[in-house]
Structure 1
Amino acid sequence: MPPLLLAHNLRREFDNGSFIAVDDVSLAVQPGTIHALLGSNGAGKTTTLRMCSTLLRPTSGSVLIDGIDAVAYPRTACKRIGLVLGGSLGFYPRASARDNLLFFADLAGVSSAERKTRVDNALERVGLSQDAQKKAAEFSTGMFQRLHIARAILGQPPLLLLDEPTSGLDPDVALRVRDLIRELANEGVGVLLTSHAMGEVEELADEISLLGAGKIAVTGQVSDIAAFAGITTTSTFTMPAQAANLADPLAKALTAAVGEEVVVKQRGYASHWNITVFWPMITNNHNEELLLAALDSLQAAQPEALVTRPALLEEAYLAVAERLAR
């Protein structure tokens, strides 16, 4: 089955070419899958999404939306897209949520016979049925975000592009939105989303593209991101607050023991330190033994709540973030 979105060698320059926001980005979104763009602020996520949505013309490169050349025929291509950029703009503030959606359903080409049913279904899916008669001006940030999603699905597009879809939402509402995104993918919709929430990406995404300085560094599963970062597992533990900062000496001791660089991150709290050890690819099942021996050589206290497991997405990202910066 051909992809719903196929972007090839996208490049976007600003300020007469003095700033390259996106450089040689290629990606694909298949029907029924969720593809996440992950990266720090300024990495190029939103610029990439806006080019894929036809809102921003690429300096070079191509975008196919459901087989349509979106650069040559943006008006035709955008009818196949549901776009969520968030914010409080884009709705008539004095009109109710339902009246806003009825208007946008008309713009999306929904027939008059289906319009009310589509609007009511969209409001139900995003949990806004009870707020349907409220004016948009009365909506909170989270309610606006859900109203944007409702608007995006009115025309039942095959492709959804979502920029930070759970930003500003309370945890219970964010969970509902994530469930809805997964439901839509299960129904065959292709989804391209950006997010800063590592847990959200790990939970939702079938494929992840990690961006840095406008380029895709790696695309794949969490294990692929971890392999790119040069780690396979992590050990996390806590130490008493009065303990010395162990990050540098522990990293040196473990690097000497392993023969390859071991990264250690330490974060302080009022009552304790949280310490994470990022083990390189060559290490084995004796990581905790190496760690305990290194701590003993440093005359440090015994670690508490020690856990060693496959690297999480956030841990892999943190291990590689510095070298992805512009």
Structure 2
Amino acid sequence: MTKQIKLSQIVPDHLYGKRLDQVLAEMFPDYSRSRIKDWILADAVLVNKQLCNTPRHKMLGGEQIDITADLPEDERFEAEPIDLDIIFEDEHILVINKPAGLVVHPGAGNSDGTLLNALLHHCPGIAEVPRAGIVHRLDKDTTGLMVIAKTIPAQTHLVEAMQAREITREYEAVCYGAMTGGGSVNRPLGRHPTKRTHMAVIENGKPAVTHYRVMEKYRAHTRLRLRLETGRTHQIRVHMTFISHPLIGDPVYGGRPRPPRQADENLLVMMRNFKRQALHAIMLKLAHPITGQLLEWHAPLPDDMVALNAALRADTQKHGMDFV
């Protein structure tokens, strides 16, 4: 479903010589540059009552702009009273610490009980923002920090900052294998050629870059800190599997549990029962989309990952090995 909007404004003189798409982006900052370009190409923009579908058309200042365009109207979802762990909130944005098991957006098999349903209950006005203000996602069983826009201008600026790689996102993870040092994975990602719900490293995929460093070395596992340059679906999980260090508990890319030799019963039980990828979004840093203030948040490791690290650390010490 769509809803029609009408926008009218006179081009300010100080925008003389700029292209139509640039001018409209400055005049109507509530809408993204890509959306404005789509409107121009879809014959939705009039300049001095004349159709103009050329984004590079030079403006002189003083022109009358009229836009009649369709905006996709989100499917109506129900508000649900689901508890949120709110780290920060003002009238523009919301930062939450997402728990494991919470799906971000309704989809096949998850029509309710999602973060989106919770947001509609917590902040009813967010229903007017596309995707209820969700600008990036975490997998169902990944925990940690997410930022949500409460207004269209905030969403537009956050999406542009995300695309410009101006938002810093760091994660903690525990992977198989004793790694000797940090590094980066720079390999494109796309849909798996045969398993359509999986992602994979493929040559014609979208660019994807993951940086990682070692935080602790265990006997046969490693605790990592990771930073994303891009935000592709399952990026960390696929990249770590690609370099033969899949995440503990990953049900899709991790394979069966592989405890170290002569592990005690506590660690064996811990690894058998760890049913989600050991991945947590621990730090988020961005410029506030409206005020420009630089903000940074941290979310402590969830209890299951604290316990997993403790069990691996105890196993390492028991066998007379140092850990970092």
Q: Which has the higher helix share?
A: 1
TM-score bin, normalised by smaller chain: under 0.3
> Which gives a bigger RCO, structure 1 or 2 (Cα 8 Å, sep 6+)?
1
TM-score normalised by L of structure 2:
0.24
